[in-house]
Amino acid sequence: MKVLKKGSIGEGEKEMNDIRSTLKEKERKLTRYLETNTTEEIINEMQECNPSLRIQSDILCRLKKMMLTQPVLNTIIFYVFATNKHKLLKDNLLFLGDLCKKFNIKSAQAAITLFKQYYAFNSYINQMRLKSIII
C-alpha cells in the first residue's frame, strides 16, 4: 500500500488532471477552428464527412437573421452535426440559435460552454424520467 504525503497527488488524480488538460487543449483548438473559419468552410468540411448532407438555405437564412456572430453560428452547426449522427436537424439548429440569442452569446467558447451545460441538463432530466418510469 502506497502512503501519500499530505498535499501530494495520487496516480488516479494525476491521470484525471492529464485528461482534463488534454480536453481543455482540444476545446481550445475547436474554439479557434470555429472562430477562424467561415460558415461555408465549416459546412463544406461536414459535407466531406457526409456527402449527402445538405443544409437548407432557408434555415441558414433564419439563423443569420438572428444576428448571431459567425463563431456562434459555426458552433451551433458543428454541435448539431456532431450530436445528431452527422445530420443537421432544423429544429435543433433553430432552438440553439434562439437560445444563444436569448443569452446574448457572442463567442464560440461561450456557445460551447452553454451547449455543455444544456447537454448535461438534458441528460439529467432524461435520467430522472427513466427513474420515474422504472419506479
Hey, what amino acid is at 43? I
What's the confidence (pLDDT) of residue 1?
46
Q: Residue 26: pLDDT above 90?
A: yes
**pLDDT per position as a tens digit, 112-132:** 999 999 989 888 888 888 877
pTM of the model: 0.79
| Rounded alpha-carbon distances, angstroms, from residue 19 to 4, 25, 34 | 21, 10, 22
Round the average pLDDT of the chain to a whole number and report it: 87
Q: What percent of the chain has pLDDT over 90?
A: 49
Residue 6 has pLDDT above 70, yes or no: no
Beta strands in the chain (DSSP E): none
Closest CA to 63 of 95, 38, 97: 97
Q: Give the model confidence (pLDDT) of 55-84 as tens digits.
A: 778 888 999 999 999 999 999 999 998 888
